Amino acid sequence: LEERARSCLLRFRHRLEQDIKPPYLMDHMISDGVLTGDEEERIRTQSTRKDQAVALLELLLKKDNYAYISFYNALVREAYDDLANLLYDDLPKMSQNAHKSNSDSNTSYVQTVLSEGGVPQRPVVFVSRPELVNRVREKLYRLQKDPGWVTVFGMAGSGKSVLAAEAVRHQGLIEECFPGGIHWLSIGQLDKPDLLSLDSQSLHRPPNSLDEAKERMRFLMLRRYPRALLILDDIWDSTVLKVFDIHCRILLTTRNRSLADSVSGAKYEVEVESGLDEKKGLEILALYTGTKPIALPEEARSIVRECKGSPLVVSLIGALLREKPNRWGYYLRQLRQKQFKRIRKSSSYDYDALDQAMAASIEVLPDEHRELYKDLTVLEKDIKIPAKVLSVLWDLEPEEVEDILEEFVNKSLLFVDSHNKPYLYYLHDLQLDFLVEQNRTQLEELYSLMFSLDWVSIKAKIMGPAHLINDYVEYGYILDKENSDVRSQFQEFLSLNGHQLEQRPFPDVVQLALSQPRTSEVYRQALLQAQDRTSKG
Ligand code: ADP
């Protein structure tokens, strides 16, 4: 640790020990790879908050400049603005990787403005995404003359917050458009208790009601910060957004594309693609492990591929490897086996594990839609499907299905290929894996679909028998755990009658099924249906 930084820590040690809550801060520091799990554990076992704080500072004094920066960022992210300001002046000047994209971005003027507004520093390991950054800046320039909204949206962990902070790290933009400063507010999910609880130690008393908040905001922005930019990070709820509908300049990050629909004024949007390209992904791993990209082991490439370049996942694994550099194979295997929980989570990011980040997205769906979303496990990797298939699965009107899918897409829970008519929908691999994992307990549903003559008939009609046979092959290993005889009976039925099931008009499946051996489950179900038909006349 640089001398200045150390001296600053020592000078304010007492203040810091009084105020900080170590567990939250340590989450961020772990995700930055500057604190190990063991170290965290040792601090957590201290019995009081104060003891934990003392231990954390003790440890920090033994660490390097990165740890100091990470600690500073953690303070910013946890809204300890006053404390962060104490540390600001002595932040070590790291020549940020090789990526000082241009001299415009890191002048001390820019640093000062951003730090005053509580904008987080770059993550310790950072790669540039120039095209995206420029897209956001271009939209921000449109707020020069008039107030308005820029929405940065994308799926969990795609790098929205990092991107928002990077976009405003630009002297020209600040001077020309936002001379009133850049103010960062971490919003997050409001049902998180610690956001709402009144904390006596915190200097920021949260407003008691949304109306009060809105009044305070209006006053502040008008009187104290005209021509300022407000960055609302991670907004979930449009009622929160409405508080800020006070004719000012706002950049918001969200997973929900349509959030700004409910507010007034000019609106612009930028979509953050979910993954980095391979080169950038490898660069992150190289930076974490202190090697050159070409010197990375072969597993590195597989890790980046496996998570489709998700910045969150690549960084998580990078941070782990920094701690345990010989675990390339191990982490790759875990990623492949979808052991998300064990991929110990960052929480620069407020969730304990990647799967919780994903679960959070799903939990905010209305109950009915959440159940429907979980049904999407029937989708297959890399296969895109039209809304029609889901209208069968869900037994809903096609229009209703379209609305629901649109909601999922807007919330970054589903992707749409709109070059095709009708539109085709698909899940990100990580989302699919997550759903499958989560639904393991709900496998009965899969069995009940795949072992049902009704389903076979419906899906064969829409997607054709080849797809269906493929389902039995693909899910064979799961279905066999339930009943391998029944699985092979269905598969056999399909293979024998494939050509018939391609005919239009579509044949009577019950009739076809009645020609199966009497011992077959397919026959049994057909017989029941036939009897049912007779009894109904
Ligand atoms: P989001 O806001 O989309 O949920 P964040 O911006 O918080 O995602 O990014 C999630 C994590 O991904 C960060 O904590 C960081 O570790 C990593 N990350 C994101 N963008 C970058 C980047 N440009 N370079 C390096 N790491 C990044």
Q: Do you find a cis peptide bond into 293, omega within 30 degrees of 0?
A: no
Quote the pLDDT of residue 347.
38
Q: Whose CA is nearest to atom 14 of ligand 1?
A: 348
Cα angle, residue 174 at apex, residues 172 and 178 outer, rounded to 5°: 135
User: How many residues belong to the chain?
Assistant: 537
Span 317-333, mean pLDDT? 84
Residues 314 and 343 sit within 8 Å (Cβ to Cβ): no
Pick the atom of ligand 1 nearest to 163's CA. 6
Quote the CA–CA distance of 353 and 434 in Å, as a whole number: 12
Q: Whose CA is nearest to atom 26 of ligand 1?
A: 126
Q: Please tell me the least confidently modeled range out of 19-23, 43-47, 98-102.
A: 98-102
Distance 215 CA to ligand 1 centre (A): 33
Distance 391 CA to ligand 1 centre (A): 36
Which range of 81-95, 137-151, 237-251 scores highest in mean pLDDT? It is 137-151
Q: Please tell me the least confidently modeled range out of 62-66, 134-138, 408-412, 497-501.
A: 408-412
User: Ligand 1: which residues within 6 Å by Cβ?
Assistant: 31, 123, 125-127, 129, 154, 156-162, 253, 284, 311-312, 315, 346, 348-349
Quote the CA–CA distance of 59 and 367 in Å, as a whole number: 45
Pick the atom of ligand 1 nearest to 156's CA. 4
Distance 189 CA to ligand 1 centre (A): 18
| 15: DSSP letter | H
Choose the residue to mutate in 73, 131, 312 for probing ligand 1, maximizing ligand atoms within 8 Å of C-beta. Answer: 312
Q: Whose CA is nearest to atom 5 of ligand 1?
A: 159
| 364 SS3 class | coil
Quote the CA–CA distance of 527 and 516 in Å, as a whole number: 10
Residues 434 and 355 sit within 8 Å (Cβ to Cβ): yes
Distance 163 CA to ligand 1 centre (A): 8
Which of 468, 437, 438, 460 is CA-nearest to residue 510?
460
Quote the pLDDT of residue 528.
93
| 154: DSSP letter | -
Distance 475 CA to ligand 1 centre (A): 34
Choose the residue to mutate in 125, 162, 345 for probing ligand 1, maximizing ligand atoms within 8 Å of C-beta. Answer: 162
Q: Whose CA is nearest to atom 9 of ligand 1?
A: 159
Radius of gyration over every alpha carbon of the chain, rounded to an integer in angstroms: 27
Task: Please list, in sequence order, all residues whose beta carbon lies within 8 angstroms of the beta carbon of residue 514, skipping any fewer than 6 positions away.
Answer: 523, 526, 527, 530
Quote the pLDDT of residue 440.
64
> What is the strand order of the sheet 182-186 is part of?
182-186, 229-235, 249-254, 148-153, 266-271
Quote the CA–CA distance of 507 and 499 in Å, as a whole number: 11
Task: Please list, in sequence order, all residues whose beta carbon lies within 8 angstroms of the beta carbon of residue 12, skipping any fewer than 6 positions away.
Answer: 83, 86, 87
Q: Do you find a cis peptide bond into 226, omega within 30 degrees of 0?
A: no
Q: Report strand pairing: 266-271 vs 148-153.
A: parallel
pLDDT digits (tens, 9 = 90+) for 501-533: 988 889 999 999 999 999 999 999 999 999 988
Phi, psi (rounded to 5 degrees) for 466:
-60, -45
Phi, psi (rounded to 5 degrees) for 197:
-65, 145
Percent of the chain with pLDDT over 90: 31
- Quickly state the pLDDT bin for 355 (edges 50, 70, 90): low
Percent of the chain with pLDDT over 70: 85
Distance 517 CA to ligand 1 centre (A): 57
Distance 154 CA to ligand 1 centre (A): 12
Quote the pLDDT of residue 100.
41
Q: What is the pTM of this model?
A: 0.58
pLDDT digits (tens, 9 = 90+) for 452-493: 998 898 888 888 888 888 888 888 888 888 889 999 999 999
Crossing angle for the helix pair 22-31 and 311-323, nearest 10 degrees? Answer: 90
Beta bridge partners of 479: none
Letter for the amino acid at 395? D
